[in-house]
Amino acid sequence: MSIKLEQTWRWYGPADTVSLQDIKQAGATGVVTALHHVPHGEVWPLEDIIERKKVIEDAGLVWSVVESVTVHEAIKTRRPDAQRYIDNYRQTLKNLASQGITTICYNFMPVLDWTRTELFLEMSDGSKALYFNWNDLAAFDLFVLEREGAADDYPEAIKAEAKRRFDGYTPAELEKLKINILMGIPGEKNIELEDLRQSIGIYKAIGFDGLRKNLIWFLSSIADVCEENGIHMTIHPDDPPYPILGLPRIASNKDDLLYITKELDKPFNGICFCTGSLGAGVSNDIPAIFDAVKDRVYFAHLRNVKKDEQGNFYEADHLGGDVNMYAVMKALVAENATREVPIPFRPDHGHQMLDDLAKTTAPGYSAIGRLRGLAELRGLELGIMGEY
């Protein structure tokens, strides 16, 4: 078992406060990035891809994974104009593959990307972490968004606590909660409240089954391009892995991931195995999920979460929390040994800590917390490899 996992790092491009030199010093060899300046649904220009790749390679790194070629809402909802965005997606994949970039991470979460209610929760050691709390989400849902039927989605205890919290919020605290929940991908446009309301109505009509069918339709529509160009599509699990704000979620557990990979049973149709997203699911057995889909795992996000009895969670140290990272890494190392090309992984998110506490960074993506996570994960991997 001499082959190691490929160690990568997410980079938000030239505007990122974490530089490529920082990434190299952290010990990563690969970069996970995207062309965030290109509007969702538009073709990624070949010249822009070539330029970004050159910048990365000039720094002594490689562009390992694209995260993400965002799937336009027209595709997720299968609007009448969806074919235009399918065609654009196909061309973007061709452009990327022409430069040898063939691992693509994407998600099929309606409207919102990953969702948190607090972006800078202060930990006992003074570092800061991302946090999700059902009571705060309910306060937003019931009294800010005022979603029709929202009261039916929460237990009485959460509704009562949500009302208590809402009544006690200052205007500034309420605005902060709204911004946190509606936050988009760093460097891109945030979601507007009215846009969210309209989208909720659309997805209510589509439902869980309809969204799954739309995903399979999307993948079927790009299958030939992927197969002809050696592309691996890797779907990122829902984060958190529950329906929220009346929006369906279709990639939240083992059954969901098995449905996706078996309904369109082609090798290109793969999984981004995110231990943090799946780990937030109270009933998710992370090693068992990996074992079920390991032949389709082409990319991994390794992070940890700590949950309470209500299902609220914060992002813990990479080797702390509820996810048995030793068991996950042991399974990854074993699977990686069967591959000719190593599985890329990145330390997903990280605590804002040390000097980064005084810097403005993308939530979850400060340098030092991820450096710590990568160092811990690399050590864990090497220790496991030494067991064989």
Give the Cβ contact number of residue 275 at 10 Å: 30
Give catalytic status of residue 239 as yes or no.
no
Would you state the pLDDT for residue 388? 66
What is the predicted pLDDT for the residue at 330? 97
pLDDT for 191: 79
Residue 180 lies in a domain: no
pLDDT tens digits, one per residue of 107-138: 999 998 899 999 999 999 999 999 999 999 99
* Active-site residue (options: 236, 238, 298, 356): 236
The predicted pLDDT at position 183 comes to 82
From first to last of its 388 residues, the chain has per-residue pLDDT tens of 468 999 999 999 999 999 999 999 999 999 999 999 999 999 999 999 999 999 999 999 999 999 999 999 999 999 999 999 999 999 999 999 999 999 999 999 999 889 999 999 999 999 999 999 999 999 999 999 999 999 999 999 999 999 999 999 999 999 999 999 998 665 556 778 888 999 999 999 999 999 999 999 999 999 999 999 999 999 999 999 999 999 999 999 999 999 999 999 999 999 999 999 999 999 999 999 999 999 999 999 999 999 999 999 999 999 999 999 999 999 999 999 999 999 999 999 999 999 999 998 889 999 999 999 999 999 999 999 987 6
Does the annotation count 285 as an active-site position?
no
* Residue 275 structure tokens: 């231990």
Q: How far is CA 191 from CA 70, 146, 175, 197, in A?
A: 15, 16, 14, 10
Question: Within its chain, how far is the Cα of 86 from the centroid?
Answer: 21
Tell me which H or E stretch contains 326. helix 325-336
Tokens of 240: 């958190």
Is 352 among the domain residues? Answer: yes
Q: Is 40 designated active site?
A: no
Question: Is 272 considered catalytic here?
Answer: no
pLDDT digits (tens, 9 = 90+) for 64-79: 999 999 999 999 999 9
End-to-end Cα spacing for the chain: 7
3-state secondary structure (DSSP) of residue 106: strand
3-state DSSP assignment of residue 235: strand
Q: Is residue 147 part of a domain?
A: no
Distance CA 85, CA 87 (A): 5
Q: Is residue 312 part of a domain?
A: no
Q: Note down the domain range covering 17.
A: 6-116+206-306+320-385
**Looking at the domain assignment, is residue 314 inside a domain?**
no
349 flagged as catalytic: yes
Q: Is the pTM of this model over 0.75?
A: yes
Reply yes or no on whether 326 is catalytic: no
The domain spanning residue 266 has which CATH number? 3.20.20.150
Amino acid at 266: K
Spatial contact of 46 and 96, defined as CB atoms under 8 Å apart: no
Written as six digits, the tokens of 23 are 């990434």
Catalytic residue among 106, 348, 351, 356: 348
The rounded distance, in Å, linking the Cα atoms of 365 and 186 is: 10
Q: How far apart are CA 156 and CA 47, in angstroms?
A: 55
Kindly state the tokens that stand for 126. Answer: 């003074």
Between CA 114 and CA 239 the distance in angstroms is: 5
Q: Which pairs with CB-CB distance under 8 Å and at least 24 residues apart come from 74-78?
A: 74/41, 75/214, 75/218, 76/108, 76/110, 76/211, 76/214, 76/215, 76/218, 77/202, 77/203, 77/206, 77/214, 78/214, 78/217
Looking at residue 185, its pLDDT comes to 61
Catalytically annotated residue among 40, 301, 318, 351: 301
Options 40, 232, 318, 349, the catalytic residue: 349
Rounded distance, CA 352 to CA 124, Å?
Answer: 13
pLDDT of residue 140: 97
Candidate list 12, 131, 203, 365, residue with the active-site label: 365
| Domain total of the chain | 1
Task: For residues 193 and 146, give the distance between their C-alpha atoms in angstroms, rounded to a whole number.
Answer: 10
| Three-state SS at 136 | helix
Q: Is residue 230 part of a domain?
A: yes
Whether residue 32 is contained in a domain is answered as: yes
Q: Among candidates 281, 270, 292, 215, which has minimal Cα distance to 243?
A: 281
In the numeric block, the tokens 């991302």 are attached to 130
Question: Which structure tokens are listed for 102?
Answer: 């063939």
| 207 torsion bin: left (phi>0), alpha (psi -120 to 50), beta (else) | left
From 25, 10, 66, 74, select the one nearest 217 (Cα to Cα): 74
The phi and psi torsions of 345 (rounded to 5 degrees) equal -135, 155
Among residues 105, 226, 272, 274, which one is catalytic?
274
Contacts of 384 (CB under 8 A, 6+ apart): 326, 329, 330, 333
CA–CA gap between residue 285 and residue 14 (Å, rounded): 38
How far apart are the C-alpha atoms of 92 and 98, rounded to whole Å? Answer: 10
Q: Which helix (H) or strand (E) holds 24?
A: helix 20-26
In a domain, 187, yes or no: no
Strand order across the beta sheet in which 313-316 lies: 118-122, 128-132, 313-316, 304-307
